[in-house]
Amino acid sequence: MALTRRAFGGLTIGGSSALMLAACGGNDGDGGSEGGGELVWAVSSGWSAWNRNTGTGNASATNIATTPMNPVGTLGYDFDPEGNVFYDEAIFEGAPELLNEAPMQVQLTLKEGAQWSDGKPVRLEDFIFQWYSTSGDPLHANQEKALPAGTAMANIASIEEPEPGKIVLTFKEGTTDPEWIFNGGVYLPSHVAEANGFEAWATDPEVMGDAVNFFNDDLWDVVIGPYKPVEWKVGEYVIYEPNENYQGEHKASYDKLTMKAIEGIEAQVTELRQGTIAGCWPNDFSLEIMQPLEDQPELAYETYAGATWSHFDMNVNNTFLKDVALRQAVFTAIDIEEIKSRAFPGTEAPWLGNHFFTEESPYYVDYTGPANYGKGDIEAAKTILTGAGYTTNGDGKLLAPGGEQVLFNFRFASSNEIRKLTGEIIQAQLVELGIDLELKGFGDDELSTTLSEGDFDLVVFSWVGNPAFTTSPDQFFSPDSDSNHGNYDDPVINELLPQVRATLELDAAAEVANQISAQAVAQAYTLPLYSSPMAVFWNTEMVSGLEVNPASQASALWNVREWKRP
């Protein structure tokens, strides 16, 4: 089966690099509350926290559940289906402007009247709050409390408002950013933090850390997006009503919008066929399960190759997986083609040999292929182990050089049939090396905590990306990143990381990013598997205006403000 594919540059997670941003096309006019009524959309898994700036909140399910209330793309910018950036016109007057190169200065222009749902204006402090949340600087926030998923704003020296509505980001001397159009942004209402006892967030790092956790532990109801939450329960649902103070062109069309967690594609398809939900962007992919939707003319689904890529991560804190030779042997023994053919029969999932770029990118270089990873070469894997001093006992079990039997676990989301099947496949593959791989599932709402607590030896999950790439290396591999779930601390990578954004030239930044990918492959830290086949299905009699967007982390919800009842 052929999948729709659009070209992407790189892939990032969570807050991405970021600055946030502006307007997009669609229906003309404000939309009013035309159609009214209620819409229920399924979120494909539960979630355990609310603040996407944190390691526990940086989950796709959190993003989808909160997209209706947040600025475009979470921070005010996103990418359209062709990968072109656009900015949130409820907040900004067009794109940012580069004022100076040394020191680098970027100016954002606020839309006149930009405001939160409680009528309070978007202000300078909101930008500073986002900066302090994601700078990684202990002088800004206690990092053990803030635990940022990424430190996209680490190079910012100051954020000021030299004249009303002009927000200027000044970079630290000697630093720059080739993706400067994705810096800054608005996400959390700083005045709500102050009203809840965190008045000193800007001057006390302990208070700022507590404020970050305040937003992580409970949902805030002062928002910028077209819908505001009125009822919610973490991991289960959010109920929205229109934001009467929304400043964008396309007002909320539904009187009530519910984002509801439903786990498993079978359950999601059943709910859609019964008319209890309007649609879903599932975590799973199964043509067999989706094909019955063709029997009901009001139901539709679209498949595509999205900016979501699956991968194995090693935890180098594991007693055995500290050894690079063992990691290399495991990745050499795994057969990715067998995983893909059994997980996606009849569907081609593109090979992915790079951590930051897809095959459509001019920057793509395949590193895992030449390393012989993912090819199922058992004999080559055994040769690696023998050369490193590994042996087997009388039962054929693999023994480390010290004589201890090699044992470790594999973690996966229990409700995801593809993840479960993947575990069973590699368990059988690694038996040929003498490794008894322990399969340990976890609940969908436990993904973030499983990763952030390092409660795994080998794990499979996906990053949901977009066309930006320069913050991804730091997010994945910096020892200071809360998204570095495998606890990698590689001196070669550490030296390269600051060089990715130390240029205004994307070509130069991509070259360094590729050097980091090459080193990660050499050290067998993570193994990219494939660009995941994706799907969206929906009821055409309940919602119109829906458009699949492989370039957005929100997928079909990227333009939820333009959805209407037919």
Domain with CATH 3.10.105.10 in the chain: 308-533
Length of the chain: 566
**How crowded is residue 35: how many other Cβ atoms within 10 Å of its Cβ?**
17
Task: Quote the tokens at residue 490.
Answer: 């590689």
464-519 pLDDT tens trace: 777 889 989 999 999 988 889 999 999 999 999 999 998 999 999 999 999 999 99
pLDDT at 189: 98
Give the residue carrying structure tokens 């009214």: 36
CA distance 6 to 107: 31
Task: Quote the tokens at residue 498.
Answer: 């600051």
pLDDT at 144: 95
pLDDT at 4: 38
| 149 to 69, 87, 497: CA distances (angstroms) | 21, 23, 16
Is 98 in a helix, a strand, or coil?
strand
Give the residue carrying structure tokens 């016109």: 89
5-22 pLDDT tens trace: 333 333 222 222 332 221
Cβ atoms of residues 226 and 250 within 8 Å: yes
Asked if residue 235 has pLDDT above 70, the reply is yes
| 409 to 28, 314, 337, 372, 484: CA distances (angstroms) | 53, 10, 22, 23, 19
Q: What is the CATH superfamily name and number for domain 15-35+53-225?
A: Dipeptide-binding Protein; Domain 1 (3.90.76.10)
Domain spanning 308-533: CATH 3.10.105.10:
yes
Closest alpha carbon to 483 in 514, 454, 441: 454
Domain with CATH 3.90.76.10 in the chain: 15-35+53-225
CA dihedral sign, ordered 133, 445, 460, 453: positive
22-61 pLDDT tens trace: 112 222 333 334 558 999 999 999 999 999 999 999 999 9
CA distance 543 to 561: 12
Give Cα 386 distance to the centre of its chain: 38
pLDDT at 35: 58
* Backbone phi, psi, residue 479, to 5°: -65, -15
pLDDT at 561: 95
Mean pLDDT of the region 259-263 = 97
Residue 221 burial (C-beta neighbours within 10 Å; 0-12, 13-18, 19+): middle
